Amino acid sequence: MIKKVLIANRGEIAVRIIRACREMGINTVAICSDIDKDALHAQLADETVCIGPASSKDSYLRMDRILSATLATGADAIHPGFGFLSENSKFAALCKKCNITFIGPSAEVIDKMGNKSEARKTMMDAGVPVVPGTKEPVFQADYAKKLADEMGYPVMIKASAGGGGKGMRIVESGEDFINQFETASREAKNSFGDDTMYIEKYIKSAKHIEFQILADNYGNVIHLGERDCSIQRRHQKMIEESPSFAIDDELRKKMGETAISAAKAANYCNAGTIEFILDQDNNFYFIEMNTRIQVEHGVTEMVTGIDLIREQIRVANGEKLNITQEDVKITGHSIECRINAENPAKNFMPSPGLVTALHFPGGNGVRIDSALFAGYRIPANYDSLVVKLMVHDSNRELAIQKMRGVLGELVIEGIDTNIDFQYKIINHNDFIKGNIDTGFVERILAEPKNNE
């Protein structure tokens, strides 16, 4: 029985996990870098261990120090959150070796799904639709070009050790291929120490749809519907919503069953996400599996009423899912806007600094996940996400109207934010009409600036 959880993370997700533990009567241990000593997660946890200086490599990524803090405080489980060590199979294996419950899938599954070309092969063998492309990984540019020529352009070159947009390149025609392939594999070697590549047909004007999965240790696997994450800038999600404007009940059933088959093929356990690309003819293809809780998990919680962090801890505790697929009901519509400490007018340059004034909106169907407080100094060392603004209402139009209101009410002074840019997206005709695909934000940014 898990009695004390160490949260190996910081910011709003650490606060979210602490809250879930508190509701479950589980004690919490926070870790923090020296610059985060006064951060909200460090204040809210029952115990806090400072494990190093500001830089992540000397603190939040230091597996030895995190495990020492876990053993020293007598925590029996670690929740990794997202980012940092959440998809590091070596860390999951070390937890197991130290007899500490890692709240997530096994190291083997993290490894297998983290190798994107291996994951693709696993899905092919399980009959899960994948984008037409190479079955085996490729290393040699000339051979890769031969395969790309046969496939037809445009194609996407992807790094097997990449994911989430890292190590990817879109190649429009053959003459550019060799150069692009050699650059991409060199980058992959430098960034991931692994230049294993694979190639897929590039699906233009696609939607990025991900299905939330919950699986226990007894073979029970359910899906909790989808999230449309097509509104992204440089592979950083900006707005997520559930359900997707583009998916009706019939398609949801088909994609949901496919997501479950994909999770079973991966021997998945705990919370995970199956990522699909949906093309304009409503064909969908497996792209990747994310073996962690995601930033945007809250919109799924708002439309299903299921607390995903609580379910993660229950599954890690060896409990069976107490929800069947028939119990899962998607009610209404939820939208999340990520508020970042950044300046869109300066090419989204990060804007750390002292929050001199703060006002959070509220009201029916409004959820704020944040670690901000007035007087908090946002450090420059970590990612710029500071508030997750979520709304829920009975349909998409009402949810958009509600999001307009909360974006207008939110006040964060002392730093720059992307609140106004989010407001522009939420009010954009194409967004309102659901004419959304993965190129939406780049198109908006290319629009002439009407004099504001």
**Nearer to ligand MV4 (CB atom), residue 129 or residue 164:** 164
**Which long-range contacts does 95-98 make (Cβ < 8 Å, 24+ apart)?**
95/67, 98/67, 98/70, 98/71
CA 195/CA 159 separation, integer angstroms: 7
**Nearer to ligand MV4 (CB atom), residue 69 or residue 337:** 337
What would the two tokens of residue 7 be? 């949260």
Minimum separation from the CB atom of position 150 to ligand MV4 (A) = 16
**Nearer to ligand MV4 (CB atom), residue 397 or residue 442:** 442
**Nearer to ligand MV4 (CB atom), residue 237 or residue 333:** 237
129: contact with ligand MV4 by CB under 6 A: no
Minimum separation from the CB atom of position 321 to ligand MV4 (A) = 27
DSSP reduced 3-state for 188: helix
275: contact with ligand MV4 by CB under 6 A: yes
Number of helices followed by number of strands (H, E) in the chain: 15, 22
Q: DSSP string of 2-53?
A: --EEEE---HHHHHHHHHHHHHTT-EEEEEEEGGGTTSHHHHHSSEEEEEE-
Site for ligand MV4 in 142-201 (CB under 6 A): 156, 164-165, 168, 200-201
Site for ligand MV4 in 25-64 (CB under 6 A): none
Angle between helices 89-97 and 63-73 (to 10 degrees): 30
Interface pick for ligand MV4 out of 288, 296, 393, 416 (rule CB under 6 A):
288
Minimum separation from the CB atom of position 377 to ligand MV4 (A) = 33
Interface pick for ligand MV4 out of 49, 277, 341, 426 (rule CB under 6 A):
277
**Nearer to ligand MV4 (CB atom), residue 397 or residue 430:** 430
Buried residues in 31-59 as b, exposed as e (16+ CB within 10 A): bbbebbeebbbbebbebbbbbbeeebeeb
**Nearer to ligand MV4 (CB atom), residue 3 or residue 135:** 135
**Would you name the residues annotated as active-site residues?**
292
203: contact with ligand MV4 by CB under 6 A: yes
Interface pick for ligand MV4 out of 27, 122, 180, 438 (rule CB under 6 A):
438
Interface pick for ligand MV4 out of 20, 67, 188, 206 (rule CB under 6 A):
206
CA 312/CA 109 separation, integer angstroms: 16
Interface pick for ligand MV4 out of 16, 79, 120, 208 (rule CB under 6 A):
208
Phi, psi (5° rounding) for residue 402?
-65, -40
Minimum separation from the CB atom of position 129 to ligand MV4 (A) = 12
Report the relative pairing of strands 27-33 and 366-370 from DSSP bridges: unpaired
10: contact with ligand MV4 by CB under 6 A: no
CA 266/CA 108 separation, integer angstroms: 10
**Nearer to ligand MV4 (CB atom), residue 26 or residue 138:** 138
CA 442/CA 295 separation, integer angstroms: 22
The number of residues that bind ligand MV4 (CB under 6 A) is 18
Q: What angle do CA 290, 296, 297 make, to 5 degrees?
A: 75
131: contact with ligand MV4 by CB under 6 A: yes
Minimum separation from the CB atom of position 154 to ligand MV4 (A) = 9
Interface pick for ligand MV4 out of 27, 48, 196, 232 (rule CB under 6 A):
232
Minimum separation from the CB atom of position 157 to ligand MV4 (A) = 10
What would the two tokens of residue 319 be? 């409990």
395: DSSP letter: S
Closest to 333 in 3D by CA, of 428, 204, 245, 211: 245
**Is the CB of residue 222 less than 8 Å from the CB of residue 236?**
no
Strands (E), 270-332: 270-278, 284-290
Interface pick for ligand MV4 out of 202, 211, 348, 431 (rule CB under 6 A):
202
| Part of the chain binding ligand MV4 (CB under 6 A), chosen from 202-210, 240-248, 294-302, 444-452 | 202-210
**Nearer to ligand MV4 (CB atom), residue 203 or residue 213:** 203
Minimum separation from the CB atom of position 396 to ligand MV4 (A) = 20
What would the two tokens of residue 294 be? 């995601």
Minimum separation from the CB atom of position 428 to ligand MV4 (A) = 17
From residue 82 to residue 121, what is the string marking binding to ligand MV4 with x (rule CB under 6 A)? ----------------------------------------
**Is the CB of residue 308 less than 8 Å from the CB of residue 278?**
no
Minimum separation from the CB atom of position 168 to ligand MV4 (A) = 6
Strands (E), 221-318: 221-233, 236-242, 270-278, 284-290
**Nearer to ligand MV4 (CB atom), residue 216 or residue 275:** 275
Give the binding site for ligand MV4 (CB under 6 A): 131, 156, 164-165, 168, 200-203, 206, 208, 232, 235, 275, 277, 287-288, 438
